[in-house]
Each structure stands twice: as structure tokens, then as C-alpha cells.
């Protein structure tokens, strides 16, 4: 399966690693580490050297309880980084919910818009529809980061997440966005309890009926802390295990902080002849 983006046709027959670049002071795992543009650009170079297939650059924390930042502040944080990194010729994603920033980033040549709110902001869907080839990732989240954990109530989390993602995918199709531009993210940790997150992992293949590749992000998240009793900085092994489990259950892209370790784990997994091909619809039965 191919993911069409602005400058790249990304072959997802082998799972890809998306490296996280947070230019924020308050992200839950690495807030403040890459605040300056130079530090963020250097980090991008390291992630490429470590084997990242895609770089995901964001300027607003989406941790539970995070407060929103202004458009001007988010623009100040990410645009200089995007300009520098795009010159490297690597697939680049902008992690934002703001339509104006999406449009600016796409005008610079960004490949992918990764929106945790699934293009719900007024004008966001129109920005994507107006672009001929950019990729887009739609993520499931109830509410917004300040309120989402208070809305973690489901009868069947997998069925309800699937229904919302299907509706958002249909909205894009109705706006004329080609299906090969779209990937879907179940939103691990976004308005979900530990049990909800584990159900989404266990039954992840049920989301493949939507017919689009899955992007999954477990890296360093609080559920891993609950399972292991470890602080954020000590969740490397748990993050790698979750990434491999996601791929085993059909994910095409894993979004991670620890790129080198994840890439190495996938190399060993593949060398051992273990399943690492993204899921197919006929494997759901």
C-alpha cells in the first residue's frame, strides 16, 4: 500500500518509523529539549541518521491537560524548523490542529498534515482538499487535550473509535481527497483509559476494515508507565515492545521518540523471520 504525500509516495509494505520532534516547553516526554530552532534541526538530522522514515514536527503540546498556544507562537516555533528540514529532502509532517498553520506549512512544501483533531477545526478540511497531493493523518480524540481524559467513557472503544474514523475518512472522500493520501490513528492515550488503550492494541486489526493504513503512537505513554511502574524517561523497552506489538497487529507506521532503538528492534524482528508486514483485510477473520 502507498501513502501519497506532497513529494513522496511512501511504500508501506514494510512498516515505517515516524520520528517525533517537539519544539515545545511542555510536551510530556521531551518538553524543552528542542526549543530553539537550531536544536530542533540538529535533532532532525540525528533522527534521519538513526533511520527515521518520516519526521513529525510539532509546536504545541497535546499531553493531557495541556493548554493551547496561540497561532503566532506555534508558527514561531515550527516554521523555521520546517524550512531547514525540508531542504534535507526527507518526508516531513506538521503536527498541528490549526488550519492557518497547515496552509503555511503546505505552502513551504511539507508532505503530511498530522492532525490530532481529525480536521475538525473550521477550514481544516478545506485546506487539505485544496492541496492536490499532501498526505494526511486523522487521529481519534474526544474533546481536546485540556478535557479529553474526563471524556474517556465508551461502551466498546474499538467500535466507537472505528466509527468516528470512518466518518472523518468519509468527510475527506466527499471533499475530493484521494484515499491514498490518508492514514488513520486510533489515538492511544487521547481520551482513553489504560484498559481502552490495551483493547485498541489487542483488537487493532478490527480497524483495518476501514481500508487505510494505521499510524500508531505508543512511545513513552502513561499506559506503559502503569504497566511497568516506570517513569517517562525509563520506558524505552516498553515503548519498543508496544511498537512491535502494533506492527504485529497491522500498523503500517509507528510514531516514536526513540528512533534508533525502534529501527534496530525491527531489523532483528525481520531477520528472525517474524511477521512485520502491515495487516491485510483478509487477515482480520
List the catalytic residue out of 13, 255, 267, 270. 255
What mean pLDDT comes out for the span 240-247? 96
- Asked if 270 is an active-site residue, the reply is no
Q: Is residue 24 scored above 60 in pLDDT? A: yes
Output the pLDDT for position 68: 82
**Angle of the 71-86 helix axis to the 37-50 helix axis, nearest 10:** 50
Please provide residue 2's backbone torsions phi and psi, each rounded to the nearest 5 degrees. -110, 140
Tell me: the pLDDT tens digits for 117-157?
999 999 999 999 999 999 999 999 987 777 777 777 899 99
Do residues 37 and 215 touch, judged by C-beta distance below 8 A? no
Output the pLDDT for position 21: 94
Catalytic one of 205, 221, 235, 267: 221
Please state the CATH superfamily assignment of the domain spanning residues 2-275 in this structure.
Answer: Dihydropteroate synthase-like (3.20.20.20)
Q: What is the mean pLDDT of the chain?
A: 91
Q: Is 255 part of the annotated catalytic residue set?
A: yes
Over 90: is that where the pLDDT of 262 sits?
A: yes
Return the DSSP state at 17. E
Residue pLDDT, tens place only, 163-222: 999 999 999 999 999 999 999 999 999 999 999 999 999 999 999 999 999 999 999 999
**Percent of the chain having pLDDT more than 70?**
92
- Cα–Cα dist 14/276, whole Å: 7
Is the pLDDT confidence value at 251 over 50?
Answer: yes
pLDDT digits (tens, 9 = 90+) for 53-104: 999 999 998 777 777 889 999 999 999 999 999 999 999 999 999 999 999 9
CB-based contacts of 29: which residues, under 8 Å, 6+ apart?
22, 219, 220, 232, 233, 257
With a cut of 60, say whether residue 279 has pLDDT above it.
Answer: no
pLDDT in tens, 175-186: 999 999 999 999
Amino acid at each position: 500500500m502507498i501513502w501519497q504525500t506532497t513529494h513522496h509516495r511512501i511504500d508501506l509494505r514494510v512498516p515505517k518509523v515516524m520520528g517525533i520532534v517537539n519544539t515545545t516547553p511542555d510536551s510530556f516526554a521531551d518538553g524543552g529539549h528542542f526549543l530553539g530552532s537550531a536544536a530542533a534541526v540538529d535533532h532532525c538530522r540525528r533522527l534521519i541518521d538513526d533511520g527515521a522514515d518520516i519526521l513529525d514536527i510539532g509546536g504545541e503540546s497535546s499531553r493531557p491537560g495541556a493548554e493551547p498556544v496561540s497561532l503566532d507562537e506555534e508558527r514561531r516555533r515550527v516554521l523555521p524548523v520546517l524550512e531547514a528540514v525540508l531542504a534535507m529532502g526527507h518526508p516531513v509532517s506538521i503536527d498541528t490542529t490549526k488550519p492557518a498553520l497547515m496552509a503555511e506549512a503546505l505552502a513551504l512544501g511539507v508532505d503530511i498534515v498530522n492532525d490530532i483533531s481529525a480536521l475538525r477545526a473550521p477550514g481544516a478540511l478545506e485546506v487539505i482538499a485544496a492541496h492536490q497531493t499532501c498526505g494526511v493523518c486523522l487521529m481519534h480524540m474526544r474533546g481536546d487535550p485540556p478535557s479529553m481524559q474526563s471524556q474517556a467513557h465508551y461502551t466498546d472503544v474499538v467500535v466507537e473509535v472505528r466509527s468516528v474514523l470512518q466518518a472523518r475518512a468519509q468527510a475527506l472522500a466527499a471533499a475530493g481527497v484521494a484515499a491514498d493520501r490518508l492514514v488513520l490513528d486510533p489515538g492511544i492515550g487521547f481520551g482513553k483509559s489504560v484498559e481502552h488503550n490495551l483493547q485498541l492494541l489487542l483488537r487493532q486489526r478490527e480497524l483495518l476494515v476501514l481500508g487505510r493504513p494505521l499510524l500508531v503512537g505508543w512511545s513513552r505513554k502513561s499506559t506503559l508507565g502503569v504497566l511497568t511502574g516506570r517513569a517517562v524517561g525509563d520506558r524505552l523497552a516498553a515503548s519498543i515492545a508496544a511498537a512491535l506489538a502494533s506492527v504485529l497487529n497491522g500498523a503500517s507506521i509507528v510514531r516514536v521518540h526513540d528512533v534508533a532503538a525502534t529501527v534496530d528492534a525491527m531489523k532483528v524482528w525481520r531477520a528472525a523471520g517474524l511477521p512485520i508486514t502491515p495487516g491485510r483485510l483478509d487477515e482480520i477473520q
